[in-house]
């Protein structure tokens, strides 16, 4: 192959890679609320990530009207070990909660996930509906998510999870 063809092929490959990276950069994490419709026992979920991908920070789940919400953090730290107890620090605005839970295996991420429970009427969940930024830490891991545009989703989620 001539040097000119190699150069042209190399430039074409670089262009394809650049387009792929640009497309990936356009995929943004968003807050997604599911499970509000339907009758009978429902599982509701409010998660933060890129829809239809494995790219997510985690989120919240509850059984409708249970009064209990589960916090799930997809990836924590390589310094933590699955199967052990852990505490997450969740904050929004001026509200902070310490949430006891467990670390679970996450083979895709290569680091454990976290699951813990908190009351649906907790001050920190109400603060998430106020906008700003959510921050969650588990051990040395710290992650944050913007709440702008998700306020109504949080209000609906918390109301549906509240004990009635």
Segment 141-153, tens digit of pLDDT: 999 999 999 999 9
Asked if 100 contacts 116 with a C-beta cutoff of 8 angstroms, the reply is yes
Task: Catalogue the long-range contacts made by 44-53 (C-beta closer than 8 Å, 24 or more residues apart).
Answer: 44/157, 44/160, 44/161, 46/153, 46/154, 46/157, 47/72, 48/134, 48/145, 49/74, 53/27
pTM score of the predicted model: 0.80
Label residue 54 by pLDDT band (50, 70, 90).
confident
Label residue 1 by pLDDT band (50, 70, 90).
low
Tens digits of residue pLDDT in 71-80: 999 999 999 9
Residue 19 has pLDDT above 50, yes or no: no
Highest mean pLDDT among 7-16, 26-35, 140-149 belongs to: 140-149
pLDDT of residue 24: 45
Label residue 42 by pLDDT band (50, 70, 90).
confident
pLDDT of residue 35: 92
Residue 70: both structure tokens together: 């589960």
Tens digits of residue pLDDT in 60-74: 999 999 999 999 999
Residue 9 has pLDDT above 60, yes or no: no
Average pLDDT, the chain: 86
How much of the chain exceeds pLDDT 70, in percent?
Answer: 82
Q: How far apart are CA 116 and CA 158, in angstroms?
A: 16
């Amino acid at each position: 192959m001539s040097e000119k063809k190699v150069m042209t092929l190399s430039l074409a490959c670089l262009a394809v890679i650049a387009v792929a990276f640009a497309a990936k950069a356009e995929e943004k994490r968003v807050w997604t609320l599911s499970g509000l419709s339907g009758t009978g026992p429902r599982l509701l979920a409010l998660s933060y990530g890129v829809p239809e991908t494995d790219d997510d920070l985690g989120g919240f789940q509850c059984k409708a009207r249970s009064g209990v919400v589960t916090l799930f953090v997809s990836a924590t730290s390589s310094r933590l070990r699955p199967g052990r107890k852990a505490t997450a620090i969740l904050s929004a605005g001026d509200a902070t909660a310490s949430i006891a839970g467990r670390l679970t295996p996450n083979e895709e991420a290569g680091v454990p996930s976290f699951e813990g429970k908190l009351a649906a009427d907790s001050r920190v969940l109400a603060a998430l509906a106020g906008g700003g930024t959510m921050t969650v830490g588990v051990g040395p891991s710290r992650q944050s998510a913007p709440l702008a545009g998700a306020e109504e989703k949080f209000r609906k989620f918390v109301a549906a999870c509240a004990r009635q």
